[in-house]
Each structure stands twice: as C-alpha cells, then as structure tokens.
C-alpha cells in the first residue's frame, strides 16, 4: 500500500515519459538514414544505381538527363549511395513525409553531362 503511494506521489511530480510531439521533436541521430536525395549536377548517368536498386524505384534517363526516384517504393537500403561512382546520391537525415500524390520525384540536369575520371578521388 505504502509502496504504491510512493509511486503515485513520485509520478505526480515527475516529468511525463513522453515528448509533447508536434511542439518538441527529437532530432534524428547523426547516423540516421533518411530519404535519398540527388545532387544532380554530379550525375554522369551511368545507370549503376538503377541496376543496384532492390526495389526498382529509380529511373535514370540518359537521353533526357533526368533522374527520378519513387520515394514511396524506396526502402532506404543505401545500395544506390554505395554504388554511385561520383557520390551524386546522398542520404539526408529527413524521413520522407506525407504527400497528396504518389508520384516519382524527377530531377533534371541542365547542360552537358560531366566527364567522369575514375582516378580522380575528389569529384565535385
């Protein structure tokens, strides 16, 4: 009985165990893997990411210089980030949010496709 009373009193003054979510959000850990994003100006359209994707969510078009991802098919495994030779795909720390339409996100590259030198370590 007294044990219970102690618990009750303790819980009355203690802070709540949960966060007040929309007002207070927990920052994702630095190692968190969020949605993939394209740094399209680095892309050389080698199609490696499209071939490596287990969920078939990437469509790369060399002719039209577009790179598209279906965020709702993406399983955030990170295979594309690993195979990309120019580091043109990155994982952000943001989880993909809600959307009205389930359409792939298409990014378009302007200008000529950059030349890729496999020996150069630092590619911008």
Residues that bind another protein (CB under 8 A): 17, 28-29, 31-33, 54-55, 75-78
Provide, rounded to whole angstroms, the least separation between the CB of residue 81 and another protein: 11
| H or E, element range at 80 | helix 79-83
Structure tokens at 19: 């966060």
Whole-number minimum distance, CB 60 to another protein, in Å?
17
Among left, alpha and beta (phi > 0; psi -120 to 50; other), residue 40 is alpha
Considering beta carbons, is residue 51 or 99 the nearer one to another protein?
51
Nearer to another protein, 19 or 108 (CB): 19
Residue 90 Cβ vs another protein, minimum distance, rounded to whole Å? 13
Strand ranges (E), the chain: 36-38, 58-61, 66-69, 89-91, 105-108
Nearer to another protein, 5 or 122 (CB): 5
């Amino acid at each position: 009985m007294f044990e219970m009373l102690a618990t009750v009193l303790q819980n009355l003054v203690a802070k709540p165990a949960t966060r007040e979510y929309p007002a207070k959000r927990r920052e994702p850990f630095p190692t968190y893997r969020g949605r993939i994003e394209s740094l399209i100006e680095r892309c050389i359209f080698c199609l490696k990411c499209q071939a490596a994707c287990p969920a078939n969510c990437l469509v790369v078009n060399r002719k039209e210089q577009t790179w598209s991802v279906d965020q709702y098919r993406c399983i955030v495994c990170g295979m594309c980030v690993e195979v990309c030779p120019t580091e043109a795909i990155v994982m952000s720390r943001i989880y993909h949010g809600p959307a009205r339409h389930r359409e792939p996100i298409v990014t378009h590259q302007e200008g000529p496709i950059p030349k890729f030198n496999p020996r150069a370590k630092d590619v911008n």
